[in-house]
Structure formats: C-alpha cells, structure tokens
C-alpha cells in the first residue's frame, strides 16, 4: 500500500489537470503495485525553499512496504519518478527532491486493523 505525497510551490493552476490520477498510475507502474492500492496526495502553492532557493520546486515522499527498502531499488525508482515529475511539472531535476520511506505492515491501519493481519 504505497503512499505518494507531492508537495510543490507551484500554484494549482500551473499543475496539469488530473495530476493526482496520473501520479497514481505512474507510482503503481514504478513500484509494481496495483493502482487500487496506491494513495496519492498533491499539495500545491506551498511556501518552499529547496537548496537555499525559493524558485519553484517540488518534494516527493514515497512510502511503501517492501519496495523502497534498498539503495538499488530507490535508484531505479528515483530515475523513473524524476522522468514523470520533470515532464508533468515543468521543473528541472535540480528543483525536485525525492524521499523514500520504507514501511512495515504494522505501521499501516486499514479496515479497523493493521496490514500485518490482513
């Protein structure tokens, strides 16, 4: 059950329509998970500073069980997420940063329990 959170200083009107759905489909493909299990949040118009600059930028947080736990996995994921983000947001790769956070099944609640027991 991946969680993908995009924070950007770009105003909402500069984001392509349907960005959350497109990011969901891309994350499902990149992480090898069904789109029905991917959760996406897009927050725009945030006051942000990246690398000491307030120029337009974005941060992506990708959290998941089992698919973001190694440098090798994340190197492959990073390249593909950067391709999507630079194309969709119109930002250079130097204005985007991605954080990967591995999760354990007991850290995700669903259907009144945690993933460990589902």
Integer Cα distance of 113 and 89 in angstroms: 37
Residue whose tokens read 């349907």: 18
- 76: which residues sit within 8 A by CB, 6+ positions away? none
60-102: pLDDT as tens digits: 999 999 999 999 999 999 999 999 999 999 999 999 999 999 9
Integer Cα distance of 34 and 49 in angstroms: 33
Integer Cα distance of 21 and 76 in angstroms: 22
23-63: pLDDT as tens digits: 999 999 999 999 999 999 999 999 999 999 999 999 999 99
Q: Please tell me what DSSP assigns to residue 16.
A: P
At residue 78, the pLDDT reads 98
At residue 58, the pLDDT reads 98
Catalytic residue check, 2 = yes
At residue 79, the pLDDT reads 98
Question: What domains sit in the chain, N to C, each tagged with a CATH number?
Answer: 2-117 (3.30.429.10)
Of these residues, 2, 11, 47, 105, which one is catalytic? 2
Segment (H or E) for 88:
helix 71-89
pTM: 0.95
What is the SS3 assignment for 108?
coil
């Amino acid at each position: 059950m991946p969680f993908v959170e995009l924070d950007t200083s770009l105003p909402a009107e500069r984001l392509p329509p349907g960005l959350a759905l497109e990011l969901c489909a891309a994350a499902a493909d990149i992480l090898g998970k069904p789109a029905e299990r991917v959760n996406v949040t897009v927050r725009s118009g945030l006051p942000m500073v990246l690398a000491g600059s307030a120029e337009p930028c974005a941060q992506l947080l990708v959290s998941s069980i089992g698919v973001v736990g190694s440098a090798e996995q994340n190197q492959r994921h990073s390249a593909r997420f950067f391709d999507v983000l630079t194309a969709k947001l119109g930002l250079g790769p130097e204005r985007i940063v991605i954080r990967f956070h591995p999760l354990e099944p007991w850290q995700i609640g669903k259907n009144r329990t945690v993933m460990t027991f589902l």
